[in-house]
């Protein structure tokens, strides 16, 4: 019997199950499962890239063995790309799925092997629809690649970049002086540098800090979202100083909230992946609201301008 205690009933990140969407992953899986589908090396690489960044739905642990699918080649945990496919399989509308990052599903399985029987084969994505299996071997391969990519940044490097961003006033001046905000000019300016956002966790991450820097490998949390003007918004700042009032507000209310360095492409991916309505620049200061449609329209340009940027999304700072 699979040991399910390790899968707690708290959502992995502060994203509602109904907001989880993996359209690109869905399309790749459907294509690969189709009789005429493409299973080329490039297609397989696209699958791996999407899985690395995927956030998936898992049933709550209180349904016990119903979390498991038995197949000829073993037994598998069930996971889903979106809420519709979850309820296609679990008909009980009172069953509320949990939200987990794919990499942490991998960590759960690979780092806690004693909790799983010898016949355990991995996970099955969208059972009842695409029935796409990800084997233990594939999870090890993907998890290994993800770890290699994420461990390139030292504490010294991160603190140096953090200080440089906090001293640089160019982007802040551009945002504050733009009477009629020009998004095309903004992405050119923002793509020359990085910005800050909030990172929130259900756990206190300070014990994991190294000189104020937290490596988020295997830890719970994600970019913080606010409801503003009836919009679901992510937030970006040109400096941590501008974040202080809001950070203080949420910390006084018991939030485990940190700062994080982010580039424009990573934020764009986050907005589109979770179907957010907008981004707010300089929240509670300049309050520039940029609706999702701009990120969709300029997505190719944003990717091009930020293609050589390092990804610092696996780190956060004590503030």
* 76 lies in some domain: yes
123 & 185 share domain: no
Which band of pLDDT confidence, cut at 50, 70 and 90, is reported for residue 63? very low
**Position 67 pLDDT exceeds 60:** yes
The string of pLDDT tens digits covering residues 169-212 is 999 988 887 667 888 899 999 999 999 998 888 788 999 999 99
The string of pLDDT tens digits covering residues 87-104 is 988 877 777 888 888 887
pTM (two decimals): 0.59
Task: Give whole-number Cα distances, 160 to 191, 292, 300, in Å.
Answer: 19, 32, 30
Given phi > 0 = left and psi -120 to 50 = alpha, else beta, which region is 219?
beta
Domain range enclosing 271: 151-317
239 & 99 share domain: no
Region 36-60: what's the mean pLDDT?
Answer: 78
157 & 298 share domain: yes
Nearest partner of 147 among 113, 112, 103, judged by Cα: 103
Q: How many structural domains compose the chain?
A: 2
162 & 289 share domain: yes
* 2 lies in some domain: no
104 & 165 share domain: no
280 & 213 share domain: yes
* 206 lies in some domain: yes
Confidence at residue 2, expressed as pLDDT on a 0 to 100 scale: 33
C-alpha 175/C-alpha 301 separation (Å) is 20
279 & 198 share domain: yes
Confidence at residue 239, expressed as pLDDT on a 0 to 100 scale: 94
The string of pLDDT tens digits covering residues 99-143 is 888 887 887 777 665 556 666 788 899 988 888 988 888 888 776
195 & 221 share domain: yes
Task: With beta carbons less than 8 A apart as the criterion, state whether 107 and 62 touch.
Answer: no
C-alpha 180/C-alpha 43 separation (Å) is 42
Confidence at residue 113, expressed as pLDDT on a 0 to 100 scale: 56
Number of CB atoms found within 10 A of residue 5's CB: 8
C-alpha 319/C-alpha 307 separation (Å) is 29
159 & 210 share domain: yes
Across the chain, what does the average pLDDT equal? 81
The string of pLDDT tens digits covering residues 268-319 is 988 887 788 889 998 888 888 899 999 999 999 998 998 888 888 889 999 8
312 & 209 share domain: yes
186 & 312 share domain: yes
Which band of pLDDT confidence, cut at 50, 70 and 90, is reported for residue 79? very high
**Position 240 pLDDT exceeds 90:** yes
41 & 157 share domain: no
């Amino acid at each position: 019997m699979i040991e399910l205690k390790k899968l707690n009933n708290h959502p992995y990140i502060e994203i509602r199950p109904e907001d989880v969407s993996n359209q690109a992953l869905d399309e790749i899986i459907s294509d690969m499962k189709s009789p005429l589908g493409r299973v080329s090396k490039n297609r397989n690489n696209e699958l791996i890239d999407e899985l690395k960044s995927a956030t998936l739905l898992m049933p709550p642990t209180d349904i016990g063995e119903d979390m498991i699918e038995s197949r000829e080649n073993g037994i598998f945990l069930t996971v889903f790309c979106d809420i519709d496919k979850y309820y296609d399989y679990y008909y009980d509308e009172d069953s509320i799925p949990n939200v987990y990052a794919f990499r942490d599903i991998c960590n759960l399985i690979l780092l806690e092997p004693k909790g799983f029987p010898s016949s355990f084969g991995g996970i099955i994505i969208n059972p009842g629809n695409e029935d796409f299996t990800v084997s233990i071997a594939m999870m090890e391969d993907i998890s290994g690649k993800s770890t290699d990519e994420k461990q390139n940044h030292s504490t010294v490097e991160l603190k140096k970049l953090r200080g440089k961003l906090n001293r640089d006033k160019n982007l802040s001046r551009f945002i504050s002086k733009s009477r009629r905000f020009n998004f095309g000019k903004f992405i050119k300016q923002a793509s020359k540098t990085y910005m800050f956002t909030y990172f929130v966790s259900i756990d206190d991450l300070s014990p994991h800090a190294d000189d104020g820097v937290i490596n988020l490998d295997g830890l719970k949390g994600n970019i913080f979202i606010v409801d503003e003007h009836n919009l679901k918004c992510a937030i970006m700042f040109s400096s941590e100083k501008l974040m202080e009032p809001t950070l203080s507000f949420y910390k006084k209310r018991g939030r485990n909230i940190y700062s994080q360095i982010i580039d424009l492409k990573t934020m764009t991916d986050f907005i589109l992946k979770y179907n957010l309505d907008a981004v707010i620049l300089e929240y509670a200061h300049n309050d520039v609201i940029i609706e999702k449609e701009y990120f969709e329209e300029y997505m190719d340009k944003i990717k091009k301008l930020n293609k050589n940027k390092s990804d610092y999304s696996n780190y956060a700072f004590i503030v």
